[in-house]
Amino acid sequence: MVIILLFASLSMIWQANNSQIHDYLGEDSSPGFDTFIIKMLTFWVAYSHLIPISLYVVLEIIKLA
C-alpha cells in the first residue's frame, strides 16, 4: 500500500509540473483528489499481480519436501 500511495503521489506531482509541456495529453494542469484516487486504483491493479520469484522457489521447495 505504501508503494501505491508513493507512486500515485509522485504521478500527481509529475502531472502538475509537466502538464503544460505535454498539451497533447489533454490533462488538467491542477489534478484533484478524484485524479489521485484513479491513479491510486490504477497502481493497485498494476501491482496486485506481482509475485516475487522467491515465492515460487519456496513453494517448489515445500512441494519437494
DSSP 1-65: -HHHHHHHHHHHHHHHHHTTT-GGG---SS--HHHHHHHHHHHHHHHTT---HHHHHHHHHHHH-
pTM for this predicted structure: 0.61
Domain boundaries defined on the chain: 2-64
Mean pLDDT of the chain: 83
Q: What is the dihedral of CA 21, 17, 40, 6, to 10 degrees?
A: 130
Tens digits of per-residue pLDDT, 49-64?
Answer: 777 778 888 889 999 9
Q: pLDDT confidence of 40, banded at 50, 70, 90?
A: very high
**What pLDDT score was predicted for residue 23?**
66
Average pLDDT over residues 17-24: 68
Question: How long, in residues, is the chain?
Answer: 65
Q: pLDDT confidence of 33, banded at 50, 70, 90?
A: confident
